[in-house]
Amino acid sequence: MVTIEQLIDDAKWYDVVRKLRWSEGVRCPECNSSDIKKRGRHDRYNYRQRYECKICGQQFDDLSGTIFQGHH
């Protein structure tokens, strides 16, 4: 269950997104591999995690491939 308190703060919101989206572990949106490495944080939003797939090389973040991609 998601509460309003979790959605007010940006850092908490990203934590909720990660828990819901990657509940079984981070997977590449391109090839669906679970062989992923973290690539640091977003320059502007330090609570937004970046990833890279070790199999296909796809780079993505918490919002890639979602309706929130490209929005602030």
Q: Where are the domains of the chain?
A: 4-61
Phi, psi of 51 (to 5 degrees): -135, 160
Architecture of the domain spanning 4-61: Single Sheet (2.20)
- The average confidence (pLDDT) of the chain is 85
Q: Are 41 and 47 in contact (CB under 8 A)?
A: yes
Please indicate whether residue 16 or residue 32 has the higher confidence score (pLDDT). 32
> For residues 62 and 52, what is the distance between their CA atoms, to the nearest angstrom?
11
Give yes or no for residue 68 having a pLDDT over 80.
no
- pLDDT of 12 above 80: yes
